[in-house]
Structures are given as C-alpha cells and as structure tokens.
C-alpha cells in the first residue's frame, strides 16, 4: 500500500506542477490586453491631437473646394500676430496650411488682389466667427482615414453662440507636424444628421 500511496502522491504533485504551468501560461497570455491598452492609449493621443487641430481650424464645408478660401480662413489662426498694416508672414501661412490640410503652396502673391501686395507677406482677411470643439469620438475607417465627431460651439461676432455637431475626416501625413491632415469638416445643426 505504501507504493500505491506514494504513486498517488507523486501523481497529485505532477498534476499540480503541470496545472501551474498551464495556468501561468494563461495568465501570461493576454497579449491582446496589452494591444488593447496600446490601442486605447493611441486613441487618447489621437483625440488630443485631433482636438488641437480642430480648435485651430477655420475651414468648413465648401471652403475646402478652393485653396484661396482655405488660406483666407487659415489666417484667422494668426489674428494675434497681424502687423499694423494687416499682414502676416507668408511662410507661416504656407507652413500652417500644409500641416493642417496637406496642401503645398508655392506662391501667395496673387491672393487677395484687392489689397496691396507686400513681398513675403499675406494680407489677413479676418473672419469673425469663433469655433470651439469638445467631446470627441473617433471612428477608424477601412480606407485608413479617421472620422471625428465633436460638439462645436460656434460664436458669431455679436457674441451669440450656437451649439452644433461637426464631423471631420483626418488622414495620416507623417510630414505634417500634427501627423495628420484634415480632409473635410462639416458643421451640422440639431435637425441635420452627420
């Protein structure tokens, strides 16, 4: 009987040792959990980047159809650095438009021809509407773009604020200082669907 008891004890010990290996391998296995954490971290980082970009964006709807409109809307970002004559450095605008929208501009000398041309500068035709994005949610599309839906507060010159919804499509651009460009951005009222 002693041999049988010893055999049972050895079998139980072996079973315990083997089960500890199996359970420890399951405990170590959640590689997907690390991936999910990374994905959540990347999503949070993208949310921060996209909100930063959106809160510098003055281009909406049909403005995306014309480069001059994109430039004229974009000068609003520089409203605090416009000189006394109403100009901002051309290189700043060109760099900003590329980083935000991926549009390469070589020459802005013909922009806003109704204003006197000043070499190396752009006349800042200022807009009077302010936009503030918040509460972002992201959808990663099959084509590699990312669609962001945000609440947007649109404040007019007279101080009236309308709370609406915006849908913006971003595309990866490693050469942009943001890492992305805005392809389109639309603002919808409450009775419209995004």
pLDDT tens-digit series, residues 31-57:
334 334 435 666 688 899 999 999 999
d(Cα 69, Cα 178) in Å, to the nearest integer?
Answer: 22
Share the mean pLDDT of the chain.
81
Instruction: Kindly indicate the confidence band of residue 192, based on its pLDDT and cuts at 50, 70 and 90.
Output: low
What pLDDT, on a 0 to 100 scale, did the predictor assign at position 86? 87
Q: Please write the tens of the pLDDT for every residue from 103-140.
A: 999 888 888 878 888 899 988 877 779 999 999 999 99
Bridge partners of 134? 151
The DSSP annotation for 116-155 comes to ---TTEEE------EEEEEEEEEEE-TTS-EEEEEEEEEE
**0.85 exceeded by pTM:** no
Tens of pLDDT, residue by residue over 160-184, are 999 999 999 999 999 999 999 999 9
pLDDT score, position 4: 53
Cβ contact 78:124 at 8 Å: yes
């Amino acid at each position: 009987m002693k041999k049988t008891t010893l055999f049972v004890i050895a079998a139980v010990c072996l079973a315990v040792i083997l089960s500890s290996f199996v359970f420890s391998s399951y405990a170590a296995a959640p590689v997907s959990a690390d991936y999910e954490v990374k994905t959540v971290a990347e999503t949070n980082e993208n949310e921060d980047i996209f909100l930063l970009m959106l809160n510098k964006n003055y281009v909406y709807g049909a403005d995306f159809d014309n480069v001059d409109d994109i430039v004229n809307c974009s000068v609003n970002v520089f409203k605090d650095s416009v000189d006394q004559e109403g100009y901002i450095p051309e290189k700043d605008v060109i760099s900003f438009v590329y980083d935000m929208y991926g549009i390469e501009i070589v020459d802005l000398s013909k922009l806003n021809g109704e204003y006197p041309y000043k070499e190396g500068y752009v006349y800042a035709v200022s807009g009077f509407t302010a936009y503030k994005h918040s509460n972002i949610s992201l959808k990663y599309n099959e084509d590699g773009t990312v669609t962001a839906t945000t609440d947007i507060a649109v404040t007019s010159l007279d101080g009236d604020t309308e709370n609406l919804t915006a849908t913006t499509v971003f595309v990866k651009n490693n050469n942009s200082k943001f890492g992305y460009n805005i392809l389109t951005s639309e603002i919808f009222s409450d009775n419209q669907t995004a």
